Structure 1
Amino acid sequence: MAAKKILMIVGDYVEDYECMVPYQILLTIGHSVDVVCPGKKPGDVVKTAVHDFEGDQTYSEKRGHNFAITFNFDDVKVDNYDGLVIPGGRAPEYLRLNSRVIEIVKEFANKKKPIASICHGQQILVAADVLNGITCTAYPAVMPDVVKAGAKWEEVNNTFTNAVVSGNFVTAPAWPAHPEWMRKFLELLGTKIEL
């Protein structure tokens, strides 16, 4: 298996599990991951938030860990990467206002490189205007945005454990879907795991 190079875009209050777990999975398999954040450099950190489903009308939020930035955002060249990961949390809400983030996402989409986006990460896909004609899912509160962006909404089961593949996109509603979301992303990357 040839190692792949993945870009992950994060920001302060990115969802803890949605950045840490995919990062660790991809490294475990032997891929490399450049973690970037606008305005931060390698060695800096972003604060994460832990979101949980505790029976309330929406998720709860607690302070998570510090997550390290490993590459300079200003040096990102899409041609150097095989795939893109966009975690959720609160970060996508403001990251989508960064024009370079939007350019990067559009370039990945136009080049048909695999894009894995989860939960509120789809807010960035909506802002990049890359969902027209794509079937996807997201955290349910993001559904109106996804549908208005021209995507076909795919309902998933109540445990949020499913992921949806459409073209070069794999989307999931929340971190409980990690096994399915990451498995499908690895398939899009062409990664073969021998058991």
Structure 2
Amino acid sequence: MSNVAFLLANDFEDSEMKVPYDEVIKAGHQADIIGIKKGETLLGKKKEVSYAADKAIADVQAGDYDAIIIPGGSSPENLRQNADILKFVKEANEAGKPIASICHGPQILISADLLKGRTITCYPPLKDDVVNAGAEFKDEEVVVDRNYITSRTPKDEPAFVREILKVLK
């Protein structure tokens, strides 16, 4: 079974965390919620769910995980300027590990300078940002480009989860 890192900060889109997290666990995989501070309570923007960070980003290495999932909402905006988050994602990408991001999740990939020559989707208002970062944007429920899995909004969660579970071993 795979060990999956969920990168999370406050104001995440509730279902974009809950649905993939629950499905990854249900499929028998290990999941760690990685935040800025270990033990910090992280609250969804709709206040429907909250999670405690299992580990701090400064205490983990990309090599410890088989895949990364980045839920959307305002969480990626709250994480994208953290050097440890960017280093973690860059190292995972260099190792070819699956990186799944939904909605605003690609903001972290933009800040990590990982979108040049890639094809992704995201929350449609971010289209210009991902294109300016060097990616081709596709307005589809899920786009898989090598090790990237991206989706647009909560309505795309079934396709997003399906593609994540395909790549987890």
The one-letter code of the counterpart of 1:177 is: D
Q: CA RMSD in A?
A: 1.2
TM-score with structure 2 setting the length? 0.95
Give CA deviations for 1:124-165 in whole Å, capped at 9, x if unaligned: 111111111111000011111100111111112xxxxx1110
CA distance in structure 1 between the aligned counterparts of 2:11 and 2:100, rounded to whole angstroms = 19
Contact in 1 for aligned 2:18/2:49 (Cα 8 Å):
no
Superposed displacement of residue 102, structure 1: 0.6
What is the aligned partner in structure 1 of residue 38 from structure 2? 41
Say which of 18, 31, 41 aligns to 1:20: 18
The one-letter code of the counterpart of 1:91 is: S
What pairs with 1:64-75 in structure 2 (closer than 5 Å)? Answer: 64-75=48-59
Secondary structure, counterpart of 1:46 in structure 2: strand
The one-letter code of the counterpart of 2:23 is: I
The one-letter code of the counterpart of 1:167 is: R
Give CA deviations for 1:90-111 in whole Å, capped at 9, x if unaligned: 1211211111111111111111
User: Is 1:163 the counterpart of 2:142 in the alignment?
Assistant: yes
Contact in 1 for aligned 2:5/2:65 (Cα 8 Å):
yes
Say which of 167, 170, 176 aligns to 2:155: 176
Contact in 2 for aligned 1:135/1:153 (Cα 8 Å):
yes
CA distance in structure 2 between the aligned counterparts of 1:96 and 1:144, rounded to whole angstroms = 17
What pairs with 1:1-195 in structure 2 (closer than 5 Å)? Answer: 3-38=1-36, 40-42=37-39, 44-50=40-46, 63-156=47-140, 162-189=141-168, 191=169
Size of the alignment, in residue pairs? Answer: 169
Structure 1 portions without partners, runs of 5+: 51-62, 157-161
Where has structure 1 moved over 4 Å in runs of 4 or more? none
The one-letter code of the counterpart of 1:181 is: F
CA distance in structure 2 between the aligned counterparts of 1:66 and 1:180, rounded to whole angstroms = 24
CA distance in structure 2 between the aligned counterparts of 1:154 and 1:104, rounded to whole angstroms = 26
Q: Percent identity?
A: 37
Secondary structure, counterpart of 2:166 in structure 1: helix
Contact in 2 for aligned 1:20/1:67 (Cα 8 Å):
no
CA distance in structure 2 between the aligned counterparts of 1:100 and 1:70, rounded to whole angstroms = 16
Superposed displacement of residue 64, structure 1: 3.0
Secondary structure, counterpart of 1:184 in structure 2: helix
